[in-house]
């Protein structure tokens, strides 16, 4: 699939749909960092409008429906005012966007955005524990299938790398862009082994096989979960007694 061509078509559709109400369309995430992998990574888009009424969302239905048929997520819709007022509520998300993004149309609304880290600690703690609980639950649903467990790890790795990045920001580190480099830095700054995370990245890049060894996949999941638990304990100790 030529996602570059499809992305350009989608941007044109959004421009025609929203007209003068459209301020900006921004690509962020792995497709903007160079970590994109076909059939695994998403094209994450932020659509910024002057106003967002039900009518504007109705108008966007046709364009976003075709985009979703390609397996891509629905764009995040925000007004410019909402962005300016939400940096303290969603610090992880805005830090991730600011790290690497591409303006596909309109104004660069992220360039001069003032980010507040007032609630960053609490969001990191909440997201880490929530995602660990979800990982455990999904493992129970996937147990007995090496492929499903492998898919679970592949689908969840990006979320935890994002949280590594947020924790490094809280620790005042100059964080890198690529997932592999973030994992490397997190393993040095926190008491975790990088190996399970790097193995999952390789699995993500190489693709799954029907011949994946069930015992090996289950062992990798065990290592993955233990390192996440260790990271949570380490970050909790750091947040309680920051350097």
The pLDDT tens digits of the residues spanning 187-223 come to 999 989 999 999 999 998 887 766 568 889 999 999 9
If asked whether residues 143 and 100 sit together in one domain, one would say: no
Q: 193: closest CA among 156, 152, 224? A: 224
Residue 113 lies in a domain: no
Structural element, H or E, at residue 179: helix 179-189
Between 118 and 216, the higher pLDDT residue? 216
If asked whether residues 138 and 205 sit together in one domain, one would say: yes
| Token digits of residue 179 | 């997932």
pLDDT at 237: 82
pLDDT band at 33 (very low <50, low <70, confident <90, very high): confident
CA distance 78 to 132: 29
Residue 58 lies in a domain: yes
Q: Structure pTM?
A: 0.81
pLDDT band at 169 (very low <50, low <70, confident <90, very high): very high
Residue 174 lies in a domain: yes
If asked whether residues 82 and 11 sit together in one domain, one would say: yes
Query: Is residue 2 scored above 50 in pLDDT?
Result: no
| Token digits of residue 238 | 């750091």
If asked whether residues 129 and 67 sit together in one domain, one would say: no
If asked whether residues 63 and 145 sit together in one domain, one would say: no
CA distance 202 to 197: 9
Residue 112 lies in a domain: no
What rounded mean pLDDT belongs to the chain?
90
If asked whether residues 198 and 99 sit together in one domain, one would say: no
If asked whether residues 149 and 73 sit together in one domain, one would say: no
If asked whether residues 54 and 137 sit together in one domain, one would say: no
Task: Average the pLDDT over 124-144 and give the result.
Answer: 94
CATH number at residue 72: 3.30.460.10
Which residue range(s) make up the domain with 135?
120-240
Query: Is residue 229 scored above 50 in pLDDT?
Result: yes
Residue with tokens 């390192």: 227
Rounded to 10 degrees, the C-alpha dihedral 32/36/39/42 comes to -30
CA distance 197 to 228: 10
Task: Average the pLDDT over 62-88 and give the result.
Answer: 92
pLDDT at 1: 42
Percent of the chain clearing pLDDT 90 (strictly above): 66
pLDDT at 99: 85
Which of 44, 78, 106 is at the close of a domain? 106
If asked whether residues 154 and 96 sit together in one domain, one would say: no
The number of distinct structural domains making up the chain is 2
Query: Is residue 24 scored above 80 in pLDDT?
Result: yes
Sign of the alpha-carbon dihedral angle for 208, 212, 215, 220: negative
């Amino acid at each position: 699939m030529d996602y570059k061509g499809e992305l350009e078509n989608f941007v044109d559709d959004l421009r025609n749909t929203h007209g003068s109400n459209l301020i900006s369309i921004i690509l962020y995430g792995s497709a903007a960092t160079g970590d994109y992998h076909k059939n695994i990574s998403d094209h994450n888009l932020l659509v910024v409008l002057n106003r967002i009424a039900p009518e504007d969302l109705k108008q966007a239905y046709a364009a976003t429906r075709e985009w979703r048929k390609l397996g891509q997520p629905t764009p995040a819709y925000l007004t410019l005012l909402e962005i300016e007022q939400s940096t303290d509520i969603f610090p992880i998300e805005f830090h991730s966007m600011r790290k690497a993004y591409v303006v596909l149309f309109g104004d660069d609304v992220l360039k001069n955005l003032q980010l507040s880290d007032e609630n960053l600690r609490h969001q990191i703690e909440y997201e880490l524990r929530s995602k660990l609980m979800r990982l455990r639950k999904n493992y129970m649903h996937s147990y007995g299938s090496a492929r499903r467990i492998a898919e679970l790890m592949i689908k969840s790795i990006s979320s935890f790398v994002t949280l590594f990045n947020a924790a490094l920001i809280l620790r005042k580190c100059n964080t890198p862009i690529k997932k592999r480099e973030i994992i490397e830095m997190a393993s040095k700054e926190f008491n975790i082994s990088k190996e399970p995370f790097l193995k999952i990245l390789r699995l993500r890049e190489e693709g799954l096989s029907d011949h994946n060894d069930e015992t090996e996949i289950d062992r990798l999941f065990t290592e993955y979960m233990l390192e996440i638990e260790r990271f949570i304990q380490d970050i909790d100790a750091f947040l309680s007694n920051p350097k």
